[in-house]
Structure 1
């Protein structure tokens, strides 16, 4: 199987969901709308998780015009010599809101942005930080995505799917510093340990640990309070990446989606167990070339079926794991 990143437009994703589940597309969206500010943008609010560390939490939904693609988390750490941001959110407008939240906390300059991976909901706000002169760090595999037709077509589709929040002025932004393996940077005496753990959820996964804060930003390697998005992930590599996060024993983990975790082991275990179960129930059928639908119907999904995005994502996750095991 072609190992290129699985990345489709929201329209295409919705069609896949409808085909697999038989559920009308509208039912994939939760009924509770996100809170919206007076200027029409969704509410973005910084939450403090450590003395100098904050994050903003996206809604547990698929991206839409209604939620303005605010479906992922981003964070920032304030140091005596500037602010380091982790991920850039899913539109320039959301990034502007994040910058406003940072300004409520500190007048320090935003000096760096570390991208955990180049998925659209984490990077479409990046141009707003570049406008402020921030240095962008990302793993070098991200170059392959930026040069791909997938990235170009996804942005074209997003300009329709998320208009006006993503529009003709929204662009893909390359990193200033491409990281090959792992890299430590120090800003204002605060050490940031940037670890390469991909290919896992994405080929270019990075995690960011701040030992002085006892916080680790896990990107989309950890999901909390919703079904993970597997896409074209390397599920074996993903589970190995979770082992690496666990070894670091952080006090607090900020996931790519969902609330921050003060019990990282439990949330790491949830994501790992979900991936392991997908591999367990899909593996025999994939290796024996038995039909996917039969394997999916036989699996017991009761542990997960009540969670947000189960109907929208679970069948597709299982199918992608089924295909990836055939390619192993």
Structure 2
């Protein structure tokens, strides 16, 4: 029997945890499912990544209302992936913020990504009918912008390419708390299907240079100490480097993609195989790494059809 496509066999609900990092910062996590960050200012709330559907976002709102009744005025898209942003309408935000690079990616591939991810993650998208369509930013920026929630300074920063070319972090400088999106994972396999393998480790160096004392990763538990933060950053960096080194070695040896995938999966499984969504991510990650190692600087668009063809070729 062939292996179920992507995460189609992952149908069990996850236990949600709502972690307080400070009076202003909270992490909504669920055992390796996509995380949502919550920033509570003097006069308003910002949500960092929205969950996959408005129905799922309603549970985030319920947790927010357990700590504040301030209006949810802002949504930040850390990047464009559907599983992160299609729940935005539930918050009824005043503004939806993203980098210009993220908006460009939505224009170029947002519709294809939406269809692709809905088929990859049936549990996360089981209330797909609640999604009104693509999520579009109302404010874009390039490089860095600062938002003041009353007296609370929130810096939105593009530290470099990594998980995507549009990655944006939210940084509370006074408290040294960072919301990283999928640039950093913790006990969860980085998805690198749209990544820049040669850039990502350097971008993580820039994350590290901020010296966060707490960090909300894209997946995995909230990192509540400098030691946990260091482990999350170094673990993500090691994974990215290990995948790319293995793929580069295969390319230099003249191996085809299928052989490189099998060899890379076997090489990385002892160290990372217990991480959440390892088997889901590896075919996408190795395919993208193989493309980059053979001269395709920018990621190709994933479509539902390309997903299935790749999976049948490599993972089934």
The interval holding the TM-score normalised by the smaller chain is 0.7 to 0.9
Q: Which residue of 2 aligns with 1:38?
A: none
288-297 or 191-200, which moves further after superposition?
Answer: 288-297
From 195, 204, 216, the counterpart of 1:233: 195
* Structure 1 residue 29 displacement after superposition: 3.4
In the aligned structure 2, how far is the partner of 1:167 from the partner of 1:75?
A: 24
In the aligned structure 2, how far is the partner of 1:184 from the partner of 1:270?
A: 29
Q: 1:192, 1:210 within 8 Å by CA — same for their partners in 2?
A: yes
Q: Which residue of 2 aligns with 1:326?
A: 294
In the aligned structure 2, how far is the partner of 1:159 from the partner of 1:268?
A: 28
> Any stretches of 5+ residues in structure 1 without a counterpart?
1-17, 36-42, 61-70
Following TM superposition, where does structure 1 have runs of at least 4 consecutive aligned residues deviating by more than 6 angstroms?
A: none
Q: Which residue of 2 aligns with 1:111?
A: 73
* Structure 1 residue 270 displacement after superposition: 0.5
> Any stretches of 5+ residues in structure 2 without a counterpart?
298-316
In the aligned structure 2, how far is the partner of 1:190 from the partner of 1:245?
A: 21
- Confirm whether residue 310 of structure 1 aligns to residue 289 of structure 2: no
- Confirm whether residue 284 of structure 1 aligns to residue 246 of structure 2: no
From 148, 153, 158, the counterpart of 2:112: 153
Q: Which residue of 1 aligns with 2:19?
A: 47
Q: Which residue of 1 aligns with 2:57?
A: 95
- Confirm whether residue 178 of structure 1 aligns to residue 140 of structure 2: yes
In the aligned structure 1, how far is the partner of 2:7 from the partner of 2:34?
A: 20
* Structure 1 residue 209 displacement after superposition: 0.8
In the aligned structure 2, how far is the partner of 1:239 from the partner of 1:121?
A: 24
Deviations 1:172-203 (A, max 9, x none): 12112101111112111011111112432112
Count of residue correspondences: 287
Taking only aligned residues, the RMSD between alpha carbons, in angstroms, comes to 2.4
* Structure 1 residue 164 displacement after superposition: 4.9
Q: Kindly tell me: are residues 243 and 169 of structure 1, through their superposed partners in 2, closer, same or farther at Cα, counting changes over 3 Å?
A: closer
SS of corresponding position for 2:146: strand
Q: 1:44, 1:94 within 8 Å by CA — same for their partners in 2?
A: no
In the aligned structure 1, how far is the partner of 2:8 from the partner of 2:126?
A: 22
In the aligned structure 1, how far is the partner of 2:153 from the partner of 2:4?
A: 48
From 2, 5, 13, the counterpart of 1:34: 13
- Confirm whether residue 275 of structure 1 aligns to residue 240 of structure 2: yes
Q: 1:197, 1:206 within 8 Å by CA — same for their partners in 2?
A: yes
